[in-house]
Chains A and B, each alone.
Chain A
């Protein structure tokens, strides 16, 4: 601003000198060439005319360009629409206008980046919502089982997947985890969830479902990506449970009679690793008696870290299952385990998606029906 003030003062002074010089010259001319009475009229007229000229020069050289620049600056600062300042001047006003143009051009780029960022965030929010809509929003009890699932993605779009389908007298419960998380994992998870829905309609046992899902996704995902899964199959009539593992985490099974729990290796190989997994995977029986609990989880839970970098681990998860399995319903067990994990993590950032499914074998209908309970962690 000092430069502008100096410039204004200098221009004012120069204009004043110019006008004063012209007035003195005119006065001097009339003083020596005209009569005294006439030269006073000329003098007054000259002074008036030259004053107008002075104001005219001042307005166009100093006031107007400064006003234009200041108006655009005010618009910028007030968040209103501003325009580029066009000028050929190379003096202080030119520099000021050029500076304004450069700054606003940079702001335009930043603003464009921010708009792009906002647009991408909006799209991620939509993707996140679409994914939430694909996964079951509410839990679903079936005859003989309380089922409680909770899911929490580490980013807007997660790679964990789970669902429940009742088809042809069987209830299928699956949990899956795509390598990593984020959009690419989310897309694969979405694809697999659709395949599970279709293949549980087409095939009559869990083995065929997993073999065909693997066969399909092997052709459609890149080498570094795969999905681990365990699929439980509950026979609604016989009240028996079986499972097929595809490289997923252990299944924790709590025995209500002994009060102990085992971590059963789900077995198999992750989906997308080999073209044909039919020789590697097996459908096995899972004994679940009254009061027993089966817990499915993704590695986001056992690999949850606290601020010291320690892992929550399988042992802590097993201890939590033993602690809560006898006393609570499936939803209560899920709630307390999730709370334990959150307490363990304290303020540490969630590194990976987390999904926890608790299935309790019971002939009793839960007082708090799981069907009304959200699957959001």
Chain B
């Protein structure tokens, strides 16, 4: 059965500060259930300072998807870490702007912009 959402974890980059998780598909309740076990395992064992979610392949997100992001954000903050989002398309960016998530989570256009910040 085809998954609504898949993730690709790139934890082999040489930078010791961050890891990138690429999302492909739709982040809603159904999509989240496709990746929750893998994602939770990774987030709980994450040891670097910044976790970057690359949303370039993410086509859709709804308020439940934002809820999951908030949960991860809160967990990382509690452990003195940070969540960063890059590459959101116009729909995803609209949802972020509507809900006001940019007030809480740092959002960049791409990895280059994030690095230069």
Contact = CB atoms under 8 A, between A and B. Distances in A.
Contact of B63 (A177, A222, A267, A269): A177
Contacts of B1: none
B29 to A, nearest CB: 7
B62 interface: yes
A283 interface: no
Contacts of B64: 179-180
A265 interface: yes
B99 interface: yes
Interface string B23-52: 000000100000000000000000000000
Contacts of A225: 67
Contact of B97 (A179, A265, A299): A265
Given A179-B63, A179-B64, A247 B99 contact: yes
A224 B70 contact: yes
Contacts of B101: 269, 273
Contacts of A266: 98
A361 interface: no
Chain B facing A: main interface SS: helix
Interface of A: 177, 179-180, 222-226, 228, 246-250, 265-270, 273-274, 280, 299, 303, 352
13 contacts: A177-B63, A180-B67, A223-B71, A223-B75, A224-B71, A226-B99, A228-B98, A228-B99, A266-B98, A269-B104, A274-B104, A299-B62, A352-B62
Contacts, number: 62
B66 interface: yes
Interface size class of B (residues with CB under 8 A): 10 to 19
A226 B103 CA distance: 14
Contacts of A268: 100
Nearest to A227: B63
B68 interface: yes
A180 B104 contact: no
Contacts of B29: 180
B74 interface: yes
Nearest to A177: B63
A329 to B, nearest CB: 29
